Structure 1
């Protein structure tokens, strides 16, 4: 069989892909937050991991690859868009999700095997958070549940940073409910105008990082082959995913792959900088 060699961010080197199960090669790629049109920088990981998906299907068989790419449909950017437009959150996410699918179809990408929406996996997120609280890796304060970063010894290994260095030069949110500035939010309270779900810590909504840990575990199992995304996600998103999942007792991903950013005049293309061109 053809041997596939991939660059693994986690070890800073190329390694031969050795699937856990050659009849079901499993890959998770972080998908979009759906609140606006996708720009061509958003299309870059779609196209890159589509090429890998096709290669895996070619080598292992069309029905031997499970590719999961999520939609983040609960997020403060979506809430803000709803507030400013007067439209419901559900309407906005339904419309922008379809825009994304249409645009990625237009550039020729195959649809992944599974495309879970974060809001459909709230119970799985709550269950994972409960496990982490019970085992002392997370704590509740003022309706927030936070992960204790210093409890996970390998934190920073993926991105090649030490916790103290991260604090010194960091953009970390200092908040009165944090035991440590580096601790990150897994659950936060919701007010009447914000989407929320019942939980052991009150009505609230998940933080960004927990959703991918919960969905990957539910759809691909405790351990899987490849986790992908843009290199802007290496820290903090993927670093936090690893910490949560490992501390919840999961092996998680074996190979971590990251694509570079699309540049516009030397700067990353992003909605916040306004230097983007939509796929459409």
Structure 2
């Protein structure tokens, strides 16, 4: 009965852990895909919104994308990736045909500077480390079921998976705290200026997503550690049970 109850708890923990994988991957994807397209909700996932005080034109800056907002309209938006695109080409992509956005080279250049030099995509590294850590965990789960699995190989898989997920937690926390502090610093400087050139607004939905991703990553890291250690102990127990106890010399030499 205790063995059955322990097995049931282990299965329940694994089910809860697997359930957390899906929303965590989704949160990583949404955070990194912000401002890459005009799909519903994607333009609202921005790190910072910059409004030019002179013209009133707005841009939304994400990790790898940027959106322009037409003047006096929140529905008409154009989005584009910022990776490897010069300022002139990006300006053409974000400028509507009717010219209502009133974008300038300076505003787009400022947005590119923010995305490439200040608001660094640390979260992307966390997403890569998290994905690799989950893959090593799944491979560990496959190997631990084999009776001929070597203990050393399982320990390597366990330590590698935990290290990668731990790195993802650190990078996710670093991304969340750095973005929050950087945007707060820009807003402070903007409020202190007598004649500010730009108005800075933080992207609260994306900040919430980043902190939620960090919380889920911590829960997953703790769950992975418990499950892999219990699975390793379960796999080691039958191997030890098969060993015959040592017999005294007198009993072995029974004539």
**More RCO (CA 8 Å, sep 6+):** 1
TM-score band by shorter chain is: under 0.3
> Please, what TM-score do these two structures have when normalized by structure 1?
0.24
Higher helix share: 2
Structure with higher Rg: it is 2
Structure with a larger share of its residues in strand: 1
